[in-house]
């Protein structure tokens, strides 16, 4: 496509189902000049905003699956008629959309990167199903059919409570399709759109379960490559997250289906490796999950710009706004977890999904029972007097007193018994006596006393952190 007004005028008037239209829109997605010219040429500013939104991030299907349920400027009803019905046999009942094999198709749910998703019913097993059909314009493409078949096999190999199950795969017909477990709830994206930022328990639970599903996929040598809120489904009525749409998943050691310069994945949730178009591994999914956690904490994705290119530059070069600047109710340790996942260099991130799952599980236990369960050691922060109030300063005095007492009890203070020594030490607090210079000090006893004090100090630090957490929550409420 040439970058001139004549070509752009043709784009505005082109058939949105034509190959020429699809090539032109891909060009406009990457060309800032054409985007600016198209904005001026479009007669309706509202229409252009719709086009631009679709270029940047796509619209959301009713079930939260990625991509638009419309074919650009076409209506949803026209898309249903022109795409879905043409792929189906006549319905067995007037209220149904059609029939595909042994499955009755009830309605269109949405669309993914490579196909459309329908809600169906398996009469033989008497259960609802989700049916994903390869998009018609790809069904005649050998490479696309191969990728679709690989997607089905990859997803079917992952059997896990937090991964949507694949029940059946049909790849020989004119319209290849796969049959998946139907999840009757909503996507995480839909929940974020409705509620905004989530509470900490919900964030940790959803993130932990998603990491659990990713760990299962990674153990099979698979990288999901498109972890985002619309690909995390929440089962109806329960907080049960399930990872879906392995449309971009593939065996880690097989790069034969990725073209140079192609960026699979949704821009706002890509990893820096994906944005640069270089080789990726399972740690790419962890960066993307970090972006999902960020969105749950703030109600918005971490990287935003007016163009896809702008988003990719932010992902590779910039850090997002600090979570607590947007939502002060998020604890510092959760912000720290996201920061680790958002490291630009994969070697600096949390290294495996299983490690992340375990970390989040400990954090969730701490939030639910703070007096029983500690935060993981790497997330604990030594209390600071200036930030934690007068009660912690008093605690510091108590700790200093304990230290002085331990040192004095550890030494040989003449022939006095231990009880007398402890009594003397209590009366001597605040004096200028320097026990450390006493030539009769028993250093073996001192070592034991220090070990005992270290244990007491850790208990004191844990209790101080608990009091700080409780005071922070009550002050925010």
Between CA 132 and CA 370 the distance in angstroms is 44
> Are 227 and 285 spatial neighbours (Cβ–Cβ below 8 Å)?
yes
- Residue 380's pLDDT is 83
What positions carry a catalytic annotation?
226
| Placement of tokens 């638009």 in the chain | 68
Share of residues in the chain with pLDDT > 70 (%): 59
- Residue 223 pLDDT greater than 80, yes or no: yes
pTM: 0.64
User: If you average pLDDT over residues 213-228, what whole number do you get?
Assistant: 91
Chain CA centroid to CA 458, Å: 33
373 CB-contact burial (10 Å; exposed 0-12 / middle 13-18 / buried 19+)? middle
118 neighbors 130 (Cβ within 8 angstroms): yes
Q: Give the pLDDT score at 32.
A: 63
459's enclosing H/E stretch is helix 443-476
Range of 24-33, 49-58, 256-265 with top mean pLDDT: 24-33
Q: How many CB atoms lie within 10 A of CB 126?
A: 7
Is there a contact between 316 and 272 (Cβ–Cβ < 8 Å)? Answer: yes
Res 278 pLDDT > 50: yes
Contact criterion met (CB below 8 Å) for 61 and 227: no
Identify the top-confidence range among 102-106, 263-267, 421-425. 102-106
| Cβ burial 411-423 (10 Å sphere, 16+ → b, else e) | bebeeeeeeebee
Measured distance between the N- and C-terminal CA atoms of the chain, rounded to whole angstroms: 57
How far is it, in rounded angstroms, from Cα 31 to Cα 309?
Answer: 9
Distances (CA, A) of 437 to 405, 407, 417, 440, 448: 15, 11, 20, 9, 18
Please give the Cα distance from 96 to 419 (Å, whole number).
Answer: 88
Q: How confident is the model at residue 357 (pLDDT cuts 50, 70, 90)?
A: very high
Burial 388-401 (b: 16+ CB within 10 A, else e): beeebeebeeebee
Q: Is the confidence at residue 356, as pLDDT, over 70?
A: yes
How far, in Å, CA of 58 to CA of 245, rounded?
16
User: CB within 8 A of 352, min separation 6: which ones?
Assistant: 215, 218, 282, 286
Q: What is the pLDDT of residue 401?
A: 58
Percent of the chain with pLDDT over 90: 34
SS3 58: coil
């Amino acid at each position: 496509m040439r970058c001139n007004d004549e070509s752009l005028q043709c784009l505005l008037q082109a058939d949105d189902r034509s190959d020429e239209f699809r090539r032109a829109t891909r060009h406009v997605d990457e060309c800032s000049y054409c985007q600016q010219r198209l904005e001026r040429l479009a007669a309706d500013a509202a229409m252009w905003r719709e086009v631009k939104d679709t270029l940047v991030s796509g619209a959301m299907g009713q079930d939260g699956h990625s991509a638009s349920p419309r074919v650009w400027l076409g209506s949803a009803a026209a898309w249903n008629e022109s795409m879905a019905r043409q792929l189906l046999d006549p319905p067995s009942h007037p209220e149904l959309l059609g029939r595909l094999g042994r499955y009755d198709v009830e309605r269109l749910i949405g669309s993914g990167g490579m196909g459309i998703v329908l809600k169906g019913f398996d009469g033989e097993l008497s259960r609802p199903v989700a049916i994903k059909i390869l998009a018609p314009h790809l069904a005649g493409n050998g490479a696309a059919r191969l990728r679709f078949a690989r997607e089905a096999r990859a997803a079917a190999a992952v059997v896990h409570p937090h991964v949507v199950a694949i029940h059946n795969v049909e790849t020989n017909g004119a319209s290849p399709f796969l049959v998946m477990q139907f999840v009757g709830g909503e996507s995480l994206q839909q929940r974020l759109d409705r509620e905004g930022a989530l509470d900490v328990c919900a964030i940790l639970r959803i993130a932990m379960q998603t990491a659990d599903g990713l760990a299962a996929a990674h153990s099979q040598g698979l990288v999901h490559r498109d972890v985002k809120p619309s690909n995390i489904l929440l089962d109806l009525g329960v907080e049960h997250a399930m990872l879906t749409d392995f449309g971009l998943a593939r065996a880690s050691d097989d790069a034969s289906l990725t073209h140079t310069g192609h960026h699979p994945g949704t821009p706002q949730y890509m990893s820096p490796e994906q944005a640069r178009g270089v080789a990726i591994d399972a740690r790419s999914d962890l960066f993307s999950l970090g972006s999902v956690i960020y969105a749950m904490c703030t109600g918005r994705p971490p990287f935003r710009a007016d163009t896809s290119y702008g988003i990719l530059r932010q992902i590779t070069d910039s850090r997002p706004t600090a979570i607590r600047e947007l939502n002060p109710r998020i604890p510092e340790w959760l912000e720290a977890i996201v920061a680790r996942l958002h490291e630009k260099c994969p070697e600096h991130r949390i290294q495996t999904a299983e490690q992340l799952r375990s970390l989040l599980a400990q954090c969730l236990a701490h939030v639910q029972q703070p007096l029983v369960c500690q935060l993981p050691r790497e997330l604990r922060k030594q209390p600071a007097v200036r930030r934690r109030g007068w009660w912690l300063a008093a605690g510091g005095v108590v700790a200093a007193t304990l230290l002085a007492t331990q040192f004095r009890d550890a030494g040989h203070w003449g022939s006095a018994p231990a009880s007398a020594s402890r009594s003397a030490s209590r009366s001597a607090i605040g004096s200028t006596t320097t026990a450390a210079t006493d030539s009769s000090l028993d250093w073996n006893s001192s070592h034991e006393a220090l070990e005992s004090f270290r244990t007491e100090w850790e208990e004191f630090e844990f209790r101080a952190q608990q009091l700080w957490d409780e005071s922070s929550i009550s002050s925010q409420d």
